[in-house]
Amino acid sequence: MTGRAAGSWPALVGAREPQEIEIDGERLVVRRSWPGKNGVRSYECCDASGRIRALTDDPRRGLTLLPHARDRKLPSLRPCGQLLVHRAGKRAVERVSRGYRKHLRAGGSGDVVTATHTMGGLAASAGFAVPRVLGTSEHSVMLSTVPGVPLLELSPEDWGRAWGRWSVAWPRLVRGAVGPSEQWQVHDAAAEAAVVAKWFEHVREYDAGGLAGRFAERLDEVETRVRRDLSSLQAGSCCSTGPVGGGMVPAHRDLHDGQMLFDPATNGVGLLDFDTAVLAERELDLANLDVHLELRVMQGLLGEAAADVGRQAIRQAAVAVGADARRLETYREATRARLGCVYAFRWQWVPVAERMLEGLG
């Protein structure tokens, strides 16, 4: 991946993440998991009928399996649409006839609506197709569909067309005039360092993928280096200025191929999920998108030739927005560290998580 310190991370000897969980006579296949507070783990599973089920593992209360598409902390959730995502007590997404409904804890819908209007509005002005808010309540937001096909399902020709269109539209979004500052949170290098530190803390607390118990010193070394490099960005000055002071620009903060669609009939690129939108350095989103291409190659979901097409588009966008090469590489390293920790919690990708962390020196 980065060509550094090959072989410096010992080979994985078993994921130590559950692939299946049995509870009340049901055998559930784990799709993914997340760390929580006080040692609680949340799991998203599939039951024997192929339905998504949310489950928690609390060290004090044991395993709790929620009924399909029901969650007392997400009172708007009902088993009526096709459930796509369910993180117990936090968030659920379902496909319904009108579009997609996000179910959130009380008070969360306002932030989603604001982000969809602000960042989504900038994206639409830049030429992206974006979801529209069709309705909202205290616990849910209804969003319209966006035309297009997920990038990983495109033909090689359409893959290239999609990235070409993205590389033109993205700089227009970044250069867009932001609205009142109170509508935006700021996510600087110090904030990114805090996110990275939190994920390393999660890996240590839960021994995700068995990494913490076997490679404690190695994890400490990687985290220290990444946080130090991010701190050096915070202490320095940005290479160029954006529409607001300090080089901050509109940022998606979760930009990856899965947040993008392409419509071959119209050559339109769709952009999704603006919930995490902030003002950040222009290098943040570009780095996140670039490293996700590395990740897809390691997952076996994308070939190197296709990844190079995406990387070239990212390089073109980086030049267009005035990104600084050193800052971009620092954010890439931070993204690799963060994703390595995130994917350590997913049993099928623990070897990939190890490889990502290995590439950090």
The pLDDT value recorded for residue 361 is 64
| Angle formed by the axes of helices 350-358 and 216-235, nearest 10° | 60
Across 135-163, average pLDDT: 96
pTM of the model: 0.91
Can you tell me the distance from the alpha carbon of 300 to that of 357, in angstroms, rounded to the nearest whole number? 18
Across 11-20, average pLDDT: 62
pLDDT > 90 fraction of the chain, expressed in percent and rounded: 81
Across 153-170, average pLDDT: 98
Dihedral-angle region of residue 16 (phi above 0 means left; psi in -120 to 50 means alpha; beta otherwise): left
- Which pLDDT band holds residue 7 (cuts at 50, 70, 90)? very low
The pLDDT value recorded for residue 360 is 83
Can you list the domains of the chain with their CATH numbers? 20-358 (3.90.1200.10)
**CA 42 to each of CA 45, 62, 105, 136: distance values in angstroms, whole numbers, following the listed order:** 10, 12, 16, 26
E strands, the chain, where? 20-23, 26-35, 41-46, 52-58, 62-65, 82-87, 91-96, 99-104, 133-136, 140-143, 149-150, 186-187, 248-251, 260-263, 268-271, 278-281
| Angle formed by the axes of helices 304-321 and 282-298, nearest 10° | 180
**CA 85 to each of CA 16, 184, 204: distance values in angstroms, whole numbers, following the listed order:** 24, 26, 26
Residue 184 above 90 pLDDT? no
Structure tokens at 164: 């070409």
Query: Which of residues 243 and 209 earns the better pLDDT score?
Result: 209
Place of tokens 């004090």: 60
H/E segment holding residue 317: helix 304-321
Residues in the chain: 361
**Closest of 284, 258, 285 to residue 272, by C-alpha:** 258
Mean per-residue pLDDT over the chain, rounded:
90
Residue 163 CB contacts under 8 Å (≥ 6 apart), including other chains: 309, 310, 312, 313
The pLDDT value recorded for residue 240 is 41
Model confidence over 278-315: pLDDT tens digits?
Answer: 999 999 999 999 999 999 999 999 999 999 999 999 99
Q: CB 283: neighbour CB atoms within 10 A?
A: 29
Dihedral-angle region of residue 47 (phi above 0 means left; psi in -120 to 50 means alpha; beta otherwise): beta
Distance of CA 256 to the CA centre of its chain: 7
Model confidence over 65-105: pLDDT tens digits?
Answer: 999 999 999 999 998 889 999 999 999 999 999 899 999 99
The pLDDT value recorded for residue 181 is 64
Model confidence over 187-210: pLDDT tens digits?
Answer: 999 999 999 999 999 999 999 999
Across 174-178, average pLDDT: 88
**CA 240 to each of CA 177, 248, 277, 295, 336: distance values in angstroms, whole numbers, following the listed order:** 16, 9, 21, 29, 25
Model confidence over 252-267: pLDDT tens digits?
Answer: 999 999 999 999 999 9
- Which pLDDT band holds residue 182 (cuts at 50, 70, 90)? low
Query: Which of residues 79 and 118 earns the better pLDDT score?
Result: 118
Question: For the chain, what is the radius of gyration of the CA atoms?
Answer: 20
> 344 near 350, Cβ under 8 Å?
yes
**Closest of 259, 298, 9 to residue 119, by C-alpha:** 259
The pLDDT value recorded for residue 214 is 83
Secondary structure (DSSP) of 79-125: TTSEEEEEETTTEEEEEETTEEEEEESTTHHHHHHHHHHHHHHHHHH
Place of tokens 């290995």: 358
Model confidence over 209-225: pLDDT tens digits?
Answer: 999 988 888 899 999 99
